[in-house]
Amino acid sequence: MIQPAASPRTFPDTVGEEEIRARVNLPREREPSEIALVVGPCRSGTTAVLRATAATGHRAYFQPFKRIVRHTLIGEDSRFVLPSGPGPVVLKETLGPFLLAESLFDPVAVLSGLERPSRLSVIVTLRHPADMYLSWLQLYRANGTFGGIDTEVFVAAFRHTLALHRRARDSGLRVTAFAADALAERKPEDVLPVLFARHGLAYTPAAVHWPTDPDALDASIIREPEPELFRAPGALDGVRRAATFTFRAPQADQARKGVPHQVAELIGPYERFAAQSTDDLGGPA
């Protein structure tokens, strides 16, 4: 039985890259030809991007490395084996929301130690920090196991994402900054083909217009069970029930009143990331 109000302080702050990598098995054959990693904090658009790739027929995996992290934190063993098969393959990883160890693991480094750089590309997602913080509040309410939102964990996940983006670019990997709310003036039909092309993914209109039956789309995403402790029921209902890929502008400033100053301090770095996203994805509307 899960006890209420679990304390983050009872868990380790990190799970090392080598510890994760030891539990990952990638095929050494030529297939898959490429791996595209989608990574960002929870509620930053990673699931929407994964669904777009799954809807176009790519093999899409739901946070296999974070699943390893979560099982490791509670003393359980978990593995990820990627079967050989036609590529490209898309892996989605999210940082946060409950523990520092969820926020500070490095899926880019894990993959870089297992895969040739020429076969790896990275899509880094971010969202306006104030809006994303409000969305994290909903995750904590849906979970009900941990106490109130941990601002330290949120800030760690946000800053770690910025660092992952910088290191991936500096290392020469193919990288795209993806700030969906900064793209609200553009059409997904114009943006997603550019995103897909940058990462060797075949684009079709199905990336934007999804099946009306959410179960059909769910079935196309490969997702293995995670520990009950981390469940947040209903957290993905919005993107599950959506019929199209949608860009939404940030909320009005009034809705952001009361966010901690540590969150407000992230707005400047986010705006620089958003400008890079505009450049990466074809310039202004």
CATH of the domain at 68: 3.40.50
- Domain span at residue 14 reads 8-280
Asked if residue 285 belongs to a domain, the reply is: no
Nearest C-alpha neighbor of 177 from the set 92, 107, 280, 46: 280
SS3 call for 180: helix
DSSP H helices, 1-128, are 17-21, 46-55, 64-73, 100-104, 107-112
Taking residue 86's Cβ as centre, other Cβ atoms within 10 Å add up to: 11
* pLDDT tens readout for residues 202-234: 999 999 998 777 777 778 899 999 999 999 988
Give the gyration radius of the chain's Cα atoms: 18
Q: What spatial distance separates the first Cα and last Cα of the chain, rounded to whole Å?
A: 52
Q: Is 47 exposed, middle or buried (0-12, 13-18, 19+ CB in 10 A)?
A: buried
Asked if residue 52 belongs to a domain, the reply is: yes
Supply 153's token pair: 């964990």
Asked if residue 150 belongs to a domain, the reply is: yes
Model pLDDT, residue 84: 86
Number of domains in the chain: 1
Q: Report the distance separating Cα 160 and Cα 266, nearest Å.
A: 12
Enter the pTM of the model. 0.94
Q: Report the distance separating Cα 96 and Cα 194, nearest Å.
A: 28
Cis (ω within 30 of 0) for the bond into 211? Answer: no
Asked if residue 2 belongs to a domain, the reply is: no
Longest CA–CA span in the chain (Å) reads: 53
Q: Report the distance separating Cα 144 and Cα 201, nearest Å.
A: 38
Q: How many residues does the chain have?
A: 285
Task: Identify the bridge partners of residue 59 per DSSP, sorted by sequence position.
Answer: 89
Which amino acid is present at 40?
A: G
Q: Report the distance separating Cα 2 and Cα 26, nearest Å.
A: 34
Model pLDDT, residue 144: 86
SS3 call for 265: coil
Q: Is 18 exposed, middle or buried (0-12, 13-18, 19+ CB in 10 A)?
A: exposed
Model pLDDT, residue 4: 40
Cβ partners under 8 Å of residue 120, min gap 6: 34, 35, 37, 111, 112, 173, 174
Nearest C-alpha neighbor of 24 from the set 53, 49, 61: 61
Asked if residue 40 belongs to a domain, the reply is: yes
Q: Report the distance separating Cα 53 and Cα 48, nearest Å.
A: 9
pLDDT lower than 70: segments of the chain: 1-9, 29-32, 252-255, 283-285
Asked if residue 3 belongs to a domain, the reply is: no
Supply 67's token pair: 């699943």
Asked if residue 200 belongs to a domain, the reply is: yes
Q: Report the distance separating Cα 56 and Cα 33, nearest Å.
A: 17
Asked if residue 235 belongs to a domain, the reply is: yes
How distant is the alpha carbon of residue 157 from its chain centre?
A: 11
Model pLDDT, residue 187: 94
Q: Report the distance separating Cα 222 and Cα 204, nearest Å.
A: 20
Q: Is residue 234 a contact partner of residue 141, using CB atoms and an 8 Å limit? A: no
